[in-house]
């Protein structure tokens, strides 16, 4: 699996309202996120899903959006402020050698990992850190673009998730995506 990070300038395209014609963030997020939850969003780009995640967690919930690119986080902060959700979203620039989640140990209800694991140094690296941050019984919604991640690479991601104490509980069908809902056991 190639480790290649999405360029920051592509974040403008990925956050475009036109993208809603192909992927409705509300419909995708709704089954997995409830009011009051703590949601982790690694690799949020400029916030296409973050705005909806913030709506779904409500005033008593929290979204932690983590990216290694300061320009992506800056764009995300602008979108969140415009949406009036700055009080619910903590946007972090992570160091290149970790996701910077040590303060979240056992606090995350659900991780929303949309098209991001293939950009990480490795699936084991990713899932080990996510597992530490996730509550017992917590979930990971994992989706990878079929155009970037082949069947064997997605299977390797699921194997890494299994080794980090996650179990596949569902395989939601989504066009052009490999998907899995994982539960921490």
* Widest CA span in the chain: 41
Paired with 170 in beta bridges are 181
Domains observed in the chain? 10-14+36-45+94-184 (3.40.50.150)
Q: Does the predicted TM-score (pTM) go above 0.95?
A: no
Tens digit of each residue's pLDDT (9 = 90 or more) over 101-120: 999 999 999 999 998 998 88
pLDDT at 80 exceeding the cut of 90: yes
Name residues whose C-beta falls within 8 Å of residue 158's C-beta, 6 or more positions apart in sequence.
Answer: 142, 168, 180
- C-beta separation of 78 from 86 below 8 A: no
Angle at 115 between CA 114 and CA 116, to 5 degrees: 95
Tens digit of each residue's pLDDT (9 = 90 or more) over 118-145: 888 899 999 999 999 999 999 999 999 8
- C-beta separation of 156 from 123 below 8 A: yes
Cα torsion 124, 126, 128, 134: sign: negative
Paired with 179 in beta bridges are 143
Calculate mean pLDDT across residues 76-93: 94
């Amino acid at each position: 699996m190639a480790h290649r990070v999405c360029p920051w300038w592509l974040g403008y395209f990925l956050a475009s309202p036109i993208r809603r014609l192909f992927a409705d963030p509300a419909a995708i997020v709704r089954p997995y996120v409830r009011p009051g939850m703590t949601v982790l969003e690694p690799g949020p780009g400029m916030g296409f899903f973050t705005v909806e995640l913030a709506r779904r967690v409500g005033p008593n919930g929290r979204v932690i959006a983590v990216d290694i690119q300061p320009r992506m986080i800056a764009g995300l902060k602008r979108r969140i402020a415009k949406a009036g959700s700055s009080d619910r979203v903590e946007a972090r620039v992570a160091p290149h050698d970790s996701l910077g989640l040590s303060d979240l140990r056992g606090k995350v209800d659900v991780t929303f990992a949309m098209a991001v694991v293939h950009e990480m140094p490795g699936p084991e690296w990713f899932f080990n850190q996510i597992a530490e941050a996730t509550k017992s019984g917590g979930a990971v919604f994992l989706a990878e673009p079929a155009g970037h991640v082949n069947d064997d690479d997605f299977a390797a991601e699921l194997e890494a998730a299994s080794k980090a104490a996650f179990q596949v509980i569902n395989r939601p069908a989504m066009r052009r995506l490999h998907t899995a809902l994982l539960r921490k056991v």
